[in-house]
């Protein structure tokens, strides 16, 4: 995190206080992306949590479901609703955060989304060469905070599915990298397990600037803090680049499957 972060910052292991955003004309705000009242989201949350009697149990089931959705880059980038991610069956950090947020809310678990910037090296590996150099030095990133036992707790270890996570950790070790292939070893070994004590994360060590807590991803994406908004040319290049990026992610996943 930047040097002026307080002890309550994510890097210090705490949870930043919710930031109250200025009132907006919601007719100018994009559609809600964490669509927790969508029938598909509600049905999925009910199916996952019907047999659980505690928020911890419900959260574990939801976490496992979202984590086990394959990591991959959608054509529409970050602008994918929770219900659409369920239909697609894959997503990246921001779209899987949106899904986890919506499922928690549908299940009655207090949840909020926390945005930041993250070092571009987190995408090194899937993106490479000229296309990697086009990525800004820091890009917009998110994780989820849930209220369990009266405390807000940070969770980001749902981002990578288990096979891809295992392959990615092995690959960055092999290459001698600290960060790449959607994981970072900065601050500790990356994890793909739910840790409500805030000791183990997947990408938190690569986070830079803190952009605070927002009610819905669409509000953040409509703000001037959002850094992943490409022009027409870069958006076209992104749609072309993710073909190769997703192939490389799949190759790392196959290597991870051999490590189970």
Q: Taking Cα atoms as reference points, which of 83, 88, 105 lies closest to residue 39? A: 83
List of residues 6+ apart from 98 with CB closer than 8 A: 33, 34, 80, 81, 82, 85, 113, 142, 217
Q: Return the sign of the alpha-carbon dihedral for residues 203, 205, 209, 210.
A: positive
Q: Is the pLDDT of residue 144 over 70?
A: yes
Confidence at 232, pLDDT banded by 50, 70, 90: confident
d(C-alpha 117, C-alpha 21), whole Å: 18
The residue behind tokens 């009242």 is: 37
Mean pLDDT within 15-22: 36
Q: Taking Cα atoms as reference points, which of 146, 147, 120, 122 lies closest to residue 134? A: 120
Q: Which residues pair with 153 in a beta bridge?
A: 146
Assess contact for 252 and 181: CB atoms under 8 A: yes
Percent pLDDT > 70 in the chain is 88
Confidence at 260, pLDDT banded by 50, 70, 90: low
Burial class (CB in 10 A: 0-12, 13-18, 19+), 83: buried
Q: Taking Cα atoms as reference points, which of 92, 96, 135, 126 lies closest to residue 252? A: 126
List of residues 6+ apart from 132 with CB closer than 8 A: 120, 123, 124
From the CA atom positions of the chain, what is the Rg in Å?
A: 17
Residue-wise burial string across 136-172, b where 16 or more C-beta atoms lie within 10 A, e elsewhere: eebbbbbbbbbebeeebbbbbbbbbbbbbbbbbbbbb
Model confidence pLDDT, tens digit, residues 29-52: 457 999 999 999 999 999 999 999
| Model confidence, pTM | 0.88
Name the 3-class secondary structure at 36: coil
Angle at 125 between CA 124 and CA 129, to 5 degrees: 80
Model confidence pLDDT, tens digit, residues 168-223: 999 999 999 999 999 999 999 999 999 998 889 999 999 999 999 999 999 999 99
Confidence at 8, pLDDT banded by 50, 70, 90: very low
Confidence at 230, pLDDT banded by 50, 70, 90: confident
């Amino acid at each position: 995190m930047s040097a002026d972060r307080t002890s309550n910052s994510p890097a210090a292991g705490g949870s930043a206080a919710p930031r109250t955003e200025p009132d907006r004309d919601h007719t100018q705000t994009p559609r809600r992306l964490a669509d927790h009242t969508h029938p598909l989201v509600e049905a999925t949350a009910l199916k996952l949590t019907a047999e659980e009697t505690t928020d911890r149990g419900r959260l574990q089931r939801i976490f496992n479901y979202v984590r086990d959705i394959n990591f991959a880059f959608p054509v529409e980038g970050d602008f994918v609703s929770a219900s659409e991610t369920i239909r697609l069956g894959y997503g990246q950090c921001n779209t899987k955060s949106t899904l986890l947020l919506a499922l928690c809310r549908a299940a009655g678990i207090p949840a909020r989304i926390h945005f930041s910037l993250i070092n571009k090296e987190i995408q090194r590996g899937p993106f490479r060469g000229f296309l990697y150099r086009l990525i800004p030095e820091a890009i917009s990133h998110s994780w989820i905070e849930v209220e369990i036992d009266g405390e807000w707790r940070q969770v980001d270890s749902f981002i990578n599915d288990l096979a891809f996570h295992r392959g990615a950790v092995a690959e960055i070790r092999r290459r001698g990298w600290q960060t790449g292939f959607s994981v970072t070893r900065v601050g500790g070994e990356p994890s793909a397990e739910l840790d409500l004590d805030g000791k183990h994360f997947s990408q938190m060590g690569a986070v830079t600037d803190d952009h605070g807590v927002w009610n819905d991803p669409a509000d953040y994406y409509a703000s001037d803090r959002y850094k992943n908004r490409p022009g027409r040319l870069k958006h076209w290049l992104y749609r072309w680049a993710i073909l190769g990026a997703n192939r490389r992610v799949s190759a790392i996943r196959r290597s991870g499957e051999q490590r189970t």
